[in-house]
C-alpha cells in the first residue's frame, strides 16, 4: 500500500492487479485502474500470458511486485517480460 500511495502522490498512473479478494491495495484512492489477473503461482502460465498480451496497453510500464507469488513468477519469466516492461526486480 505504501508503494501505491507514494507513486500516486506523484500523479503516476497506478494499475492494481489483484488476483484475490484479500488484496486490499486495490481499493486505494491512488489506484487509477484495477485489472483482475490469474493467480501468479497457481495459474502462472496464464498470468504471464496476460501480462504479455496486454503489454501494448501498458507500453513502457514499470512492474513492481508487491507480494511473493508475483515476485517468483515474474523472476522466472524476467527475460521474456523485460522485452515488454521495466521490471523493478531482476533476480
**Reported confidence tier of residue 82, pLDDT bands at 50, 70, 90:** very high
The alpha carbon of residue 67 and the mean position of all alpha carbons in its chain are separated, in whole angstroms, by 10
pLDDT digits (tens, 9 = 90+) for 28-46: 999 999 999 999 999 999 9
- Alpha-carbon distance of 91 to 36, in angstroms, equals 25
Is the torsion defined by CA of 27, 49, 61, 82 positive or negative? positive
Mutual orientation of helices 68-76 and 44-53 as an angle, nearest 10°?
A: 70
Q: What is the pTM of this model?
A: 0.87
Architecture of domain 2-87: 3-Layer(aba) Sandwich (3.40)
* Domain residue extents for the chain: 2-87
Amino acid at each position: 500500500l505504501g508503494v501505491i500511495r507514494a507513486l500516486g502522490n506523484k500523479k503516476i498512473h497506478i494499475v492494481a492487479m489483484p488476483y484475490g479478494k484479500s488484496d486490499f491495495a486495490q481499493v486505494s484512492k491512488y489506484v487509477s485502474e484495477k485489472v483482475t489477473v490469474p493467480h501468479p503461482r497457481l495459474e502462472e502460465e496464464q498470468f504471464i500470458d496476460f501480462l504479455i498480451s496486454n503489454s501494448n496497453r501498458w507500453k513502457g510500464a514499470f512492474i513492481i511486485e508487491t507480494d511473493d507469488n508475483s515476485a517468483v513468477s515474474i523472476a522466472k519469466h524476467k527475460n521474456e517480460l523485460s522485452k515488454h516492461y521495466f521490471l523493478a526486480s531482476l533476480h
